[in-house]
Structure 1
Amino acid sequence: MKPFQQVARSLALAATASLALNAPAAPAPVVQSRYAVTERVTLHYLESGHGDGTPVILLHGYTETSRMWRPLMAGLGDGRTVIAPDLPGEGDSGIPADGYDKATMARDIHALVHKLGYRKVNLVGHDIGLMVAYAYAAQYPDEVQSVTLMDAFLPGVGDWQKVWLLRDKWHFNFYGETPLKLVQGRERIYLEHFWNDFAANPEHSVSEADRRYYAASYARPGRMRAGFEYFHAFPQDAETFARFARTPLTMPMLVLGGEKASGSFLITQATLIDTRVQGVIVKGAGHWLMEEAPEQTIPAITRFIDQVSPVQRSLRIAPAHPERTPLSRKQA
């Protein structure tokens, strides 16, 4: 190659590198608020991202709604669709009269997935949501590419009674008319127990804005009763999960445990239900992994899903003045 050609090539490569380094970051995917009517219940869900990658289904836990996943949705939505439903009975989803065992709730989420035209999915669940995610994977193993379980436990699997009987688990038996009357009008006081006592540090747990939002959401008619029913169904869940565990899953499974919460307990349980488990202890975190340690939690989940479900990411240049999406109550 002649000297002037080498210089020209070097200048071109340098210009390309400069453009790549100085290009505006791709805008975060817009999050849309949507509804789907399934056979048993109408489900509200948040949706973002697009592409041919296997969709990701995010399942929230108790005291929260699909809102908890918004920071993670931004990291997952380039090259795939990300869907975060409100579980039956909470958020803006319908309130079934019964069926709060996790196998039934998993069938509701499965109906949503098929309603939206998808078959195979990646599942991510926190708290009650991880129980629904496991029940989904156990019932539809051929339709699940990967599972991520985040800090809680699986009723009926291994020595699960050690969690059931631990201090501060009185709320497992707190349901019925008297508890409902005691909590009515004091929903935030009740929910603060979870946000504070299950955190490594209450000052770095669920934010004040989110606490106001969730307290108002759970105070709406029927929502607190539905949440109590999640716990009321644990004995039934234990029987079902013990049966599911007889047939171990074989898809990749990531398990995240808060160092100051479930620790390695859920990881140990996961090895009893799946043959391909990766365990991660989130350092310094309590139960609220997304809120207490997002800098550890979000990259761990995105790396895992990108590895087991790679996507072709597009190089997108942000517009000079990107549109802002208004945040309505139903989008929050």
Structure 2
Amino acid sequence: MKRALNLLLGLAVFGPLLLFTASSSKVYGAAADETIVSRTAEINGVKLHYITAGHGAPLILLHGYAETSLMWKPIIPVLAERFTVIAPDLPGIGDSDIPAHGLDMKSAAIRIHDLAKSLGVQKAEVVGHDIGLMVAYAYAAQFPTEVTKLVLMDAFLPGVEGWEAVYNNPDIWHFRFNGPTPEALVQGRERTYFEYFWNDFAADKTHSIPEADRKAYTAAYARPGRMHAGWAYFVSFQQAAKDFAQLSQTKLHMPVLTIGGEKSLGEALGQQTKLVATDVTVVVLKDTGHWVLEERPKETTEALQKFL
């Protein structure tokens, strides 16, 4: 139990846990394909793919590792009733190009910001999950006057007090599992590798990431160069720690919401965020792990709607 808890506390890609059943997926995702448009934009020579829907104030949704923008589809129709939702694939992931350089949190944030500007976005509310929250924080910290609200969902902030205990946890092997040999080992076995996250870190592996999404994510990361690009974000943690230590010298003043899973990081992200922002609301979802949206779609969506 202790080892499992340590793993959960350290995971930047924690396992999906309890309540995202087939029926809840159907309820939240039934209209998704009818309302969501897939588009691409070339930003400084790099093609970025994004999905979008709705009308209203801009809302940027940033996915995490072992996922793509697909993760947001179940709730986009709900959010699109009030917002113009923009959910990009992070650079190097999904259908976005793999840039020659800049696969790190700060650079990714700049690319996403440039995408937003190309779409005419002056100010936006920004939501990020997992490594997506790190990109979201980097976005808000670099462009604070252009972010009206910020939501950080279940991971941690490199470079902010408390992060090293997570990063240096000896049980967290995947943070440093990268390079030619690991790539060779995983090639053709991407599904097996991802099952480690989806199953081993789920309270109930039968109520984890839906099978259709598992297939889609596996296919996305099995494409040439994609696993390498995804791992590059892990490799960039040390750089992110330096960047965030500098950026956090100026606190964020926009309202910030953190959402954590009780059986994952709990309040830890909220406590970290209070060190870098002045107006923080902390939500902890009971009996929930890292994949808060998949596990608790109703509660997560309600928390977002109430805050945004």
In the superposition, the TM-score normalised over structure 2's length comes to: 0.88
Equivalence for 2:157: 154
1:168/1:66 Cα in 2 relative to 1: closer, same or farther (>3 Å)?
Answer: farther
CA contact (8 A) 1:198 1:288 kept: no
CA contact (8 A) 1:58 1:83 kept: yes
Equivalence for 2:210: 207
Q: Is 1:44 aligned to residue 27 of structure 2?
A: no
Equivalence for 1:130: 133
Equivalence for 1:268: 271
Q: Distance in 1 between matches of 2:33 and 2:279?
A: 32
CA contact (8 A) 1:124 1:147 kept: yes
CA contact (8 A) 2:40 2:50 kept: yes
Equivalence for 1:228: 231
Structure 1 segments, 4+ long, off by >3 Å, are: 26-29
Shift of 1:165: 2.6
- Pairing partner for 1:298 from 294, 297, 301: 301
- 5+ unaligned residues in a row in structure 1: which ranges? 1-25, 306-332
Q: Distance in 1 between matches of 2:200 and 2:147?
A: 34
Q: Is 1:67 aligned to residue 67 of structure 2?
A: no
- Pairing partner for 2:240 from 237, 241, 252: 237
CA contact (8 A) 1:58 1:85 kept: yes
Q: Percent same amino acid among aligned pairs? A: 55
Q: Distance in 1 between matches of 2:222 and 2:32?
A: 35
Equivalence for 1:166: 169
- Pairing partner for 2:148 from 145, 150, 166: 145
Q: Is 1:180 aligned to residue 183 of structure 2?
A: yes
CA contact (8 A) 1:260 1:285 kept: yes
- 5+ unaligned residues in a row in structure 2: which ranges? 1-30
Given residue 34 of structure 1, which amino acid in structure 2 is its aligned partner? R
Shift of 1:167: 5.5
Given residue 94 of structure 1, which amino acid in structure 2 is its aligned partner? D
CA contact (8 A) 1:29 1:77 kept: no
Given residue 207 of structure 2, which amino acid in structure 1 is its aligned partner? H
Q: Distance in 2 between matches of 1:297 and 1:282?
A: 8
Q: Is 1:190 aligned to residue 193 of structure 2?
A: yes
Q: Distance in 2 between matches of 1:172 and 1:134?
A: 20
Q: Distance in 1 between matches of 2:119 and 2:33?
A: 22
Equivalence for 1:35: 40
Q: Distance in 2 between matches of 1:203 and 1:162?
A: 30
Shift of 1:175: 1.1
Q: Distance in 2 between matches of 1:75 and 1:200?
A: 27
CA contact (8 A) 2:32 2:74 kept: no
Q: RCO higher in 1 or 2 (8 Å CA, sep ≥ 6)?
A: 2
Q: Is 1:216 aligned to residue 193 of structure 2?
A: no
Shift of 1:199: 2.5
Shift of 1:97: 2.0
Q: Secondary structure at the match of 2:288?
A: coil
CA contact (8 A) 1:180 1:225 kept: yes
CA contact (8 A) 1:28 1:74 kept: no
Q: Distance in 2 between matches of 1:55 and 1:28?
A: 20
Deviation track 1:252-299 (CA, whole Å, cap 9, x = no partner) reads 000000111111110110001100000000111111111111121111
In the superposition, the TM-score normalised over structure 1's length comes to: 0.81
Equivalence for 1:8: none
Deviation track 1:202-243 (CA, whole Å, cap 9, x = no partner) reads 221111111011101110111101011010111000000011
Equivalence for 2:108: 105
Q: Distance in 2 between matches of 1:292 and 1:145?
A: 27
Query: How many residues are treated as equivalent by the alignment?
Result: 278
Shift of 1:115: 0.5
26-35 or 217-226, which moves further after superposition? 26-35
Given residue 273 of structure 1, which amino acid in structure 2 is its aligned partner? V
Given residue 233 of structure 1, which amino acid in structure 2 is its aligned partner? S
Equivalence for 1:17: none
Q: Distance in 2 between matches of 1:75 and 1:136?
A: 24
230-239 or 26-35, which moves further after superposition? 26-35
1:173/1:40 Cα in 2 relative to 1: closer, same or farther (>3 Å)?
Answer: farther
